[in-house]
Amino acid sequence: MKEIILASASPRRKELLSELIGNFRIQPSFLEEKTDENRTPAETVCALAEQKAKDVFSRNCDAVVLGADTVVSLGKEILGKPKDEADAVRMLRSLSGKTHQVITGVCIAWEGSVLTDYCVTDVSFRTLTDEAIADYVKSGVPMDKAGAYAIQDNPDMIAGFNGSYTNVVGLPMELLQTMLQKCGVIGCLEN
């Protein structure tokens, strides 16, 4: 079997992928992420996942490279990682009491081929107090998370979700398994 490389430094993606694949290497892409404001959120995450996978694959042509990118979408606004604490507060206030979409693009690059797809999960927030938002932001947790939150670190802020939980964490395992089967990397796995 070919070496599998995860083109991400995310500890959450590493943990999720290790549940599916026992042996892989991590080599993040350090390309500057280029986005086009005319793209939909789904097109954006697919393009970014593809950029990451192709970048790492260009230095590892004998491997299978997995790239991923996640955004939070509230209406037409894409909420990436906050720039600073004030931006994190702004994002959390905008999500409070509303339903938004978490969209993850996944790209697999191997043997000159590329397979890209995405997953969408609807997430509903409870109404958050200013104090709860301030405490969460002070914890530092939101600062490297799309939409300024991590579902696994503060489940009390979530009223519910419809779709893949692992997508909200950062790597939609159901989609990834299907994609890895399509490109012949893994056979059918027991659920």
Active site residues: 69
Q: DSSP for 52-104, please give it.
A: HHHHHHTT-TTSEEEEEEEEEEETTEEE-S-SSHHHHHHHHHHHTT-EEEEEE
The H or E element containing residue 180 is: helix 173-182
Backbone φ, ψ for residue 183 (5° rounding): -95, 10
**Is 95 within 8 Å of 72 (Cβ atoms)?**
yes
